[in-house]
């Protein structure tokens, strides 16, 4: 079929997505074709745009935070059918590999093919542009009204849930919420700090709140974001820098410092680690969720305190979520009014406005921008 798609031809600081006419093959084997209702504008596509991933395939179809309706299935699809509503997950879950069977499907071995650009089923492209194959970012590609994905990348959800909100749970919400809850092992009554209150951090605030943290300090240089974190998402205090947060956390805890910290800034910096780590106390856990440059190796940490306070620095992918189990759970929390999704959407766009969406993201105007596709 013919459709349109936002393609990236070459990554770099000045790169832009261009809207192109493309063709999309039917799903093969275990694949499904999805008519997308919406795609979130996640920071990871900005990392893709400027070249953090160092991919050697072009053109590339961006977007990985989508939800929609299945309109076609391949002949080996076993657990989905036409008409099902699905959230796409940027890590597939095969259900068989060691991480999957041990409850860590966010680390599914199928993720090894995440940046191959071609179908994991047969190693060929589904999208074509001017005779060339188009790579699909993280096996998805949601900057297009239709996409074809492996059934392991699609999680069936209840049809009563609005798809434009469900889309957000495919990446930013699960990643952020999981950072503040599952990945951080948050306990009731904990004091928590969230460094960076964008699309991930705002959900880390929610994760800490739902997991039982009673004091949550939101840290971001932009006042409107920390105000929103307090007004809508459950933060109890706010600071414009980690230095300012240090005094607040010290006062709140009688200098025992925080139990948990979520590091969720747009670009993870090794130079932030030492300061962030100084905000947690004995048995403190810091979860590092940001995407850093692939070549980044620099981080300083107080090794003496690490041992003597029994602290932990943890990396977390997808908030340590198990997408197939946790995406439906998160959507139930939304239906019960516990998880806020509507409040995350700052602005909606058409596909043609995708670059404007990223300009707004970089200008600090959005918690989440969302592309809406027409019916």
Contacting positions for Zn ion (CB under 5 A): 42, 44, 94, 97, 100, 108, 171
* Least Å from the CB of residue 320 to Zn ion: 15
How does DSSP assign 325-342, residue by residue?
HHHHHHHHHHHTTSS--G
Q: Are 248 and 279 in contact (CB under 8 A)?
A: no
Helix (H) or strand (E) holding 21: strand 17-24
Token pair recorded at residue 309: 């306070």
Minimum CB distance to Zn ion smaller for 171 or for 197: 171
* Least Å from the CB of residue 29 to Zn ion: 17
* Least Å from the CB of residue 138 to Zn ion: 8
Minimum CB distance to Zn ion smaller for 107 or for 230: 107
Task: Using alpha carbons only, give the angle 117, 294, 201 rounded to the nearest 5 degrees.
Answer: 95
Q: Are 31 and 9 in contact (CB under 8 A)?
A: no
* Least Å from the CB of residue 18 to Zn ion: 21
Minimum CB distance to Zn ion smaller for 42 or for 167: 42
| 30 CB neighbour count, 10 Å cutoff | 20
The span from the CA of 263 to the CA of 295, in Å, is 19
Rounded to the nearest 5°, which phi and psi values hold at 54?
55, 45
Q: Are 264 and 201 in contact (CB under 8 A)?
A: yes
Instruction: Tally the C-alpha atoms within 13 A of residue 153's C-alpha that lie toward its C-beta.
Output: 33
* Least Å from the CB of residue 111 to Zn ion: 8
* Least Å from the CB of residue 40 to Zn ion: 7
The span from the CA of 84 to the CA of 264, in Å, is 33
* Least Å from the CB of residue 50 to Zn ion: 15
How does DSSP assign 113-165, residue by residue?
GTTS-S-TTTS--SEEETTEEEEEGGGT--SSSEEEEEGGGEEEE-TTS-HHH
* Least Å from the CB of residue 130 to Zn ion: 28
Minimum CB distance to Zn ion smaller for 97 or for 372: 97
Minimum CB distance to Zn ion smaller for 142 or for 311: 142
Minimum CB distance to Zn ion smaller for 15 or for 71: 15
Minimum CB distance to Zn ion smaller for 108 or for 155: 108
Rounded to the nearest 5°, which phi and psi values hold at 305?
-70, -35
Minimum CB distance to Zn ion smaller for 108 or for 217: 108
């Amino acid at each position: 079929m013919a459709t349109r798609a936002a393609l990236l031809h070459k990554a770099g600081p000045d790169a832009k997505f261009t809207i192109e006419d493309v063709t999309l093959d039917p799903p093969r084997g275990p694949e499904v074709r999805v008519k997308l209702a919406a795609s979130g504008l996640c920071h990871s596509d900005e990392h893709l745009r400027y070249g953090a991933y160092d991919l050697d395939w072009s053109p590339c179809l961006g977007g990985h935070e989508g939800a929609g309706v299945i309109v076609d299935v391949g002949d080996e699809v076993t657990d989905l059918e036409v008409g099902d509503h699905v959230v796409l997950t940027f890590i597939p879950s095969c259900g068989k590999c060691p991480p999957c069977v041990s409850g860590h499907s966010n680390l599914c071995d199928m993720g090894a093919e995440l940046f191959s650009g071609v179908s994991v089923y047969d190693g060929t492209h589904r999208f074509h542009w001017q005779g060339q194959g188009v790579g699909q970012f993280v096996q998805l590609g949601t900057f297009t009204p239709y996409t074809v994905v492996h059934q392991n990348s699609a999680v069936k959800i209840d049809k009563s849930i609005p798809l434009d909100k469900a889309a957000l749970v495919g990446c930013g919400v699960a990643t952020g919420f999981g950072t503040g809850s599952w990945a951080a092992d948050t306990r009731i009554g904990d004091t928590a700090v969230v460094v960076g209150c964008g699309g991930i951090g705002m959900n880390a605030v929610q994760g800490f709140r739902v997991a039982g943290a009673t004091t949550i300090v939101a840290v971001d240089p932009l006042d409107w974001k920390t105000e929103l974190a307090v007004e809508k998402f459950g933060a109890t205090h706010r600071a414009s820098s980690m230095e300012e947060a240090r005094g607040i956390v010290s006062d709140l805890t009688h200098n025992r410092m925080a139990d948990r910290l979520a590091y969720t800034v747009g670009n993870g910096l090794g130079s932030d680690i030492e300061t962030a780590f100084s905000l947690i106390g004995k048995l403190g856990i810091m979860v590092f969720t940001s995407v850093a440059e692939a070549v980044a190796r620099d981080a300083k940490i107080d090794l003496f305190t690490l041992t003597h306070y029994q602290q932990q620095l943890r990396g977390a992918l997808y908030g340590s979520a198990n997408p197939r189990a946790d995406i439906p759970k998160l959507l139930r929390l939304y239906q019960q009014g516990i998880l806020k999704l509507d409040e995350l959407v700052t602005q909606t766009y058409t596909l043609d406005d995708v670059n404007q969406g990223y300009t707004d993201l970089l200008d600090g105007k959005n918690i989440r921008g969302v592309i809406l596709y027409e019916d």
